[in-house]
A and B are shown apart, each in its own frame.
Chain A
Amino acid sequence: MPSLTLLGQALVSGVLAGGIYGLLALGLSLSWGLLRLVNLAHFALALLGAYLTYQLGTALHLSPWLAAAVIVPAFFLLGCGLHAVFAYFRVTEFTSLLVTFGLTVILESLIQWFWTADYRRYETPYATASLRVGPLFIPTLEMLACLTAAVLALATWAWLRFSYVGKALRASAEDPAMAAAFGVNHRRQAFLLSGVSAAYAGVAGAFIALISTLAPAQIWAWVGVVFAVVIIGGLANPIGALLAGLLIGVSESLTMAVVTPAWAPLVSFSVLIVLLIARPGRV
Chain B
Amino acid sequence: MSGDDRRVAIALTIVGVALAALGTVGLPAFYESFLYIIFSWIALATSWALLSGYAGYFSFGHGAFFGAGMYTTATLTTRFNVPFLWTLLAAGVLAAALGAGIGAVVFRVKRLRGELFGLLTLAITFVLGTIVLNTRIDGGPGVFLSAVPLPRLLASPTGTLYLLGLALALATVGAAYAIGRSRLGFGLFAIHDDEDVAEVEGVPTFRYKLVAFALSAGIAGVAGGIHAMYVGYVTVGETFSITVPLYVVLMSVLGGARHWLGPAVGATLIASSLYAFTGGQQAVLGRAAVALVLVLVILILPEGVVPAILRRRRPSMPAVEPAPALESHDAVAGEPAATAPAAALVAHDVWKAFGGIQALRGVSLQVGPGEIVGLVGPNGSGKTTLINVISGHYQTDRGRIALGEVTLSTRPAHEVAGLGVSRTYQIPRPFVHLSALDNVALAATFGAARCSPGQARAEARRWLEFTGLRRRASALPHELNLHERKFLELARALAGQPRVILLDEVLSGLNPGEIASAIGLIRQIQARGVAILFVEHLLRAVLALSDRLVVLNEGEVIATGSPHEAMRAARVVEVYLGTPHVA
Contacts and interface: CB of A to CB of B under 8 A. Distances in A.
B246 A101 contact: yes
A231 B131 CA distance: 24
Interface in A241-283: 260, 262-263, 265-266, 269, 272-273, 276-277, 280-281, 283
Interface string B246-269: 100110010000000000000000
Given A99-B298, A105-B287, A223-B122, A94 B109 contact: no
B222 to A, nearest CB: 26
B175 interface: no
A91 interface: yes
Interface in B286-342: 287-288, 290-292, 294-295, 298-300, 302
A157 B512 CA distance: 52
A89 interface: yes
B288 A98 contact: no
A106 B295 contact: yes
A263 B130 contact: yes
Contacts of B127: 265-266, 269
A81 interface: no
B126 A283 contact: no
A97 B115 contact: yes
B294 A102 contact: yes
B109 A89 contact: no
Contacts of B281: 113
B120 A220 contact: no
Contacts of A102: 250, 291-292, 294-295, 298
Contacts of B110: 280
A251 to B, nearest CB: 15
Contacts of A265: 126-127, 130
B82 interface: no
Contact of B105 (A105, A260, A277): A277
Contacts of B299: 85, 89, 91, 99
Contacts of A228: 123
Q: Assign chain B's interface to a size class.
A: 35 or more
Contacts of B294: 98-99, 101-102, 105
B118 A97 contact: yes
A112 B285 CA distance: 9
A276 B109 contact: yes
B247 to A, nearest CB: 10
B253 A262 contact: no
Interface in B216-275: 242, 246, 249-250, 253
The DSSP consensus for interface residues of chain B is: helix
A220 B126 contact: yes
B134 interface: yes
Contacts of B541: none
A151 B286 CA distance: 41
A277 B134 contact: no
Contact of A113 (B109, B284, B302): B284
B116 A95 contact: no
Contacts of A103: 291, 295
B31 to A, nearest CB: 28
A110 interface: yes
Given A94-B58, A224-B122, A283-B111, A112 B284 contact: yes
Nearest to A86: B299
A95 B287 contact: no
A75 to B, nearest CB: 19
B285 A109 contact: yes
B137 interface: no
A10 to B, nearest CB: 19
B114, B134, B295 interface centre (most CB from chain A within 10 Å): B295
A224 B118 CA distance: 11
Contacts of A113: 281, 284-285, 288
A101, A103, A281 interface centre (most CB from chain B within 10 Å): A101
A216 to B, nearest CB: 9
B109 A106 contact: no
B112 A276 contact: yes
Contacts of A110: 288
Contact of B123 (A99, A263, A269): A269
Nearest to B302: A95
B525 interface: no
20 contacts: A85-B299, A94-B58, A101-B60, A101-B294, A102-B294, A102-B295, A104-B291, A105-B288, A110-B288, A112-B284, A113-B285, A220-B126, A224-B126, A227-B119, A227-B123, A231-B119, A262-B133, A265-B126, A265-B127, A280-B109
Identify the 9 closest CB pairs spanning chains A and B, nearest first.
Answer: A109-B288, A105-B291, A102-B295, A102-B294, A224-B123, A102-B291, A89-B299, A262-B134, A106-B291
Interface of A: 38, 85, 89, 91, 93-95, 97-99, 101-106, 109-110, 112-113, 220, 223-224, 227-228, 231, 260, 262-263, 265-266, 269, 272-273, 276-277, 280-281, 283
Given A97-B115, A98-B58, A283-B116, 17 more contacts: A89-B300, A94-B58, A94-B114, A98-B249, A99-B298, A101-B60, A101-B294, A110-B288, A223-B122, A227-B119, A262-B134, A272-B123, A276-B112, A276-B116, A277-B108, A280-B110, A281-B111
